[in-house]
Amino acid sequence: MDSLVLIERLDELMAEAKPIPFTREARVERDEVYRILDQLRTTLPVEFERVRWMGRESEQEDGVETRLKEITSALAELRQAQDVQTKRPSTPPLTVAAAEQVRDVIEAAERTATAVERDANAEAQRLRTEADAHLRRAKEEAERHLRETRERAAEEAAAYLSRVEEATKKMLERANSAGTEINGMLANLRGSGGSVIEDLEAIMAGLTKIEVRRSEATAPAKAAASPSRQAPAPAPAAVTQAATAVV
């Protein structure tokens, strides 16, 4: 049974209490009052625990506040009814024991409502703190990923530039090596060309000497055989010209 219904039933018993003549006391159904109090002792902790559990859920904060307002309103109505009963001169109050029990129930309900409200506020603050922490961690993670991406891009760019520089250096080394080889080949060709010319000149000089000697050996015989015939031009001159042309 709902605690508010039990409190209303207790209020009705207080209003329906029969006054005892010549006294300020009233007769109530003690068993009924005790039964309601026992039910309140059983129901209130369960309902307050349910309200506290609802307060742990951020989306049900409005429901917790509404429930607390209902409990506070019911307690206020109960206290107001008690004050009215106390101020009535014609209606005697309850017995001392019953009044004490009712007052204990009211005070316990007020303390529990205050505790529930305090716990709900603490839970809401905890949820807000956790949400702020999650947001801060997400922001830090995003910044870290961005920083790592930039660093990785810079490292990749530096590695690419290093590879380009290394390839360019190797190409230059190969070009320099090829140039050196070409220069060496040209130098060898130039040196080889000079040796060939010198060899040709030496051969031509040897041929010239041979022709001169042969001419000197055959000149007296030819002069005796035909003194009027003119001697032919020496061959070494033509060979010398051919050698010069080759050079």
* Per-residue pLDDT at 9: 77
State pLDDT tens for residues 81-90. 666 655 555 4
Q: Encoding tokens for residue 131? A: 């949400």
d(CA 91, CA 22): 11
Rg, the chain, Cα only: 65
State pLDDT tens for residues 55-84. 555 555 565 566 666 666 766 666 666 666
Burial 175-204, CB ≥16 within 10 A → b, else e: eeeeeeeeeeeeeeeeeeeeeeeeeeeeeb
Q: pLDDT class for 230, splitting at 50, 70, 90?
A: very low
Give the residue, 106 or 219, on which the prediction is more confident.
106
With beta carbons less than 8 A apart as the criterion, state whether 39 and 6 touch: yes
Widest CA span of the chain, in angstroms? 204
Separation in Å, CA 116 to CA 32, 44, 110, 189, 224: 29, 12, 10, 108, 160
Q: Rounded mean pLDDT of the chain?
A: 70
Stretch 186-195: mean pLDDT, rounded? Answer: 61
Regarding pTM above 0.85, the answer is no
Ranked by mean pLDDT, the top range of 13-22, 41-50, 187-196 is 13-22
